[in-house]
Amino acid sequence: MIQHPAFAVEPWVVRETELDLDRLAQTESVFALANGHVGLRGNLDEGEPSGLPGTYLAGFYEVRPLPYAETAYGNPEAGETVINVTNGKIIRLLVEDEPFDVRYGVLHRHERVLDLRAGVLIRTLEWESPAGGSVRVSSTRLVSFAQRAIAAILYEVEAVDGPTAVVVQSELVANEETPVDESDPRAAAALASPLHSQLSGSRDTRLMLAHSTGASGLTMAAATDHAIDGPPGTTATAETYEDLCRLLVAADLVPGKPLRLVKFIAYGWSSQRSLPAISAQVTAALAEAQHAGWDGLLSQQRAYLDDFWDRADVEIDGDAELQQAVRFGLFHTLQAGARAEKRAIAAKGLTGPGYEGHAFWDTETFALPVLTYTVPQAARDALYWRHLTLEAARQRATLLGLKGAAFPWRTIRGQECSGYWPAGLAAFHVNADIADAVARYRAATEDDTFERAAGLEVLVETARLWRSLGHHDAEGSFRIDGVTGPDEYSAIADNNVYTNLMAQRNLLAAVEAVQRNGDRAAELGVDSEESADWRDAAEAMLVPYDGARKVHPQAESFTQHQVWDFASTGPEQYPLLLHFPYFDLYRKQVVKQADLVLALHLRGDAFSAEEKARDFDYYERLTVRDSSLSACTQSVIAAEVGHMELAYDYFGEAALIDLDDIEHNTRDGVHIASLAGAWIAAVAGFGGMRDHGGKLSFAPRLPEVISRLVFRLTFQGRRLVVEVEPHRATYSLREGEPLEISHHGKRLTVAGRPRVRSIPPAPARDAPTQPPGRAPSRRRPPRPSRSS
């Protein structure tokens, strides 16, 4: 979309200067606002036309049956699907009794701006009705970071040519008609009008609707109140129905004297509290929002984001497009998790219904590293959510005949929702990914309270899982057989290198946490014998190596498989899973997404520099990137081994995944993992940041076009700023005690004054090749930027 002439490249905003109805669904995702608790797609204020209506609450879902051609032991019987809840965004407008609709009349001007510093979506337009009446309309929408239950809209209408009668209709609407998957009639039936009315009412300018779900047993309420400033004679009346509440504001306008309406919207839900309690909650939230007022909400939003950008901003000189894209990615990552507060961070955040609103391992592996070093409390709360689902994970492990806890491959509230077991249920690495996020958070924050309350138990139960899932073979090696790694074009393999190395880290992290918290570990039933057993398994972990090819196979025997016939695969046959049977994919050397290469990043401490270079070269020839999770990791390792321009190309692909709609599915919501991956590509790729063993190290290098990179980190109570230029790096401590780091393998302490170090040249290597037609797009010359 950013290539569309209606979009401009600007450092702090995403601006659309004309409305393209063919791209409406994509822009609704791009312009979505959320805070981790409430999410509003960027639908037009008047509700129609729309690509995909959407208002979401974190963790609010309905249960639906999972279809199977044949039953099998251990298959989950039901799934969880995020639902479009009561829509409070809608503000309809009638001009001299003509409904404002962009498809009719003449739209003289239309602009939307997502302001990444102010945290608002601004829309301005001028419209002439079919009957000739003209109005200017402006709206500013926010979802509050400061008040998590609150969204608000400032809506203004002004007559252009002369006296004009207008009616503004502010609505709450439940059970909007939304597209459903008609190929699964049981799912369609379960999700048709999923909200059952419990309460509807109005008082003065306040409206409220409350609904419950039929199967998941959740109750929600939405309420809205208004501040109206109009010309003399302006009136307001309300009407209510089961699924609709509407406030009608009528005014006679003259040029220069607009009608101004501020709409405060509050949401609340619970699986346990009563309807009166939930209603009281949203009423109280409205009262606080009205107490702050529109200007107060704007001020709170700006203050929150000023602090965020001070801790998290990434500055890029030399590529204005990537500068905009990285900030866009950071903003959406923040929106996905800032106020989630012990609820799941979904793969699409709260921007669309993609993946049914499920959280995957993406959360811990891509989103949480960003949040850990920029908004650590958000990372902590996401890990607390995993701890809250621990009992369901224990039950799942028991069902599978295993010990400990088996966390779900995809879920909203903790139950397994994957209906395809080879690619999902066998992907046990999700447990090590969660443990890795726990260990990273504790090392980065030294939050002992979290570790004792939740982190230790997660590490213990996942360690128990690995010990029961694997076994020592006759040679004494610890094997983990019959599992699926991150690559979804391989399944049920023995000793997947990524899985084994991450499980090894999981086991050792559990041992260390037990040593730090002996009394708490004893309460969990851990004794010295069990802890020693975990250490033995970790030390004996089998890591396959192909001595003939001098590379690590993705899993045992992988490099002995036949290589996929890339030469005979046409560009129209990608993604491969839509054109070839999994059976054929699973027995060939073809990689959907970074798997072994992801191990080179997250477990880089287990490989030598030359092993990384050889492994990366080998898997570049096999990786087709039919997944949005791949480009950022390939960028990181390409930069580490010295392929700087290739790293730059992959960086662009990760960062522009949604602004360019690279996967052609942004309509379903933005790709949070890839947007977070843009930060990872910048900081871990060109910044060379690693965090093995709770220590920070940096090995920065830049591609030719980028002349300067600056990023910020929060680590163990310090605020660190790293500035990278072509030949030198500068490390500055903005807050906290002196910090020991390393720069290209040499230790240094950053304290009161900046420390400057030279950057050694990248090693000279032959450029690797990719499957025909699957190389990343080369970064084009950057377009001129517009100041903002």
Active site residues per annotation: 488
Rounded to 5 degrees, what are φ and ψ at 100? Answer: -70, 120
Instruction: Identify which of 127, 100, 126, 124 has the alpha carbon closest to the alpha carbon of residue 113.
Output: 124
- Within 8 A by CB and 6+ apart from 54, the residues are 28, 32, 39, 40, 41, 43, 84, 178, 351, 352, 353
Type of residue found at 193: S
CA–CA distance, 351 with 667 (Å, rounded to integer): 9
Instruction: Identify which of 14, 228, 18, 254 has the alpha carbon closest to the alpha carbon of residue 136.
Output: 254
CA–CA distance, 406 with 134 (Å, rounded to integer): 61
Provide Rg for the chain, Cα atoms. Answer: 27
CA–CA distance, 120 with 508 (Å, rounded to integer): 44
Classified as helix, coil or strand, 357 is helix
Q: Which two tokens stand for residue 103?
A: 């498809």
CA–CA distance, 20 with 434 (Å, rounded to integer): 41
Type of residue found at 242: E
CA–CA distance, 220 with 268 (Å, rounded to integer): 6
Type of residue found at 697: S
Which residues share a beta bridge with 249?
168, 236
Rounded to 5 degrees, what are φ and ψ at 196? Answer: -105, 125
Task: For residue 519, count CB atoms less than 10 angstroms from its CB and return exposed for 0-12, middle for 13-18, buried for 19 or more.
Answer: exposed
Type of residue found at 474: A
Q: In whole angstroms, what separates CA 4 from the centre of its chain?
A: 24
For CA atoms 445, 447, 450, 455, the dihedral sign is: positive
CA–CA distance, 197 with 212 (Å, rounded to integer): 7
- Within 8 A by CB and 6+ apart from 99, the residues are 46, 92, 93
Which residues share a beta bridge with 166?
95, 251
Q: Which two tokens stand for residue 84?
A: 């479009």
Type of residue found at 337: G
Q: List alpha helices for 50-135, DSSP H.
A: none
CA–CA distance, 642 with 661 (Å, rounded to integer): 29
Classified as helix, coil or strand, 707 is coil
Type of residue found at 621: R
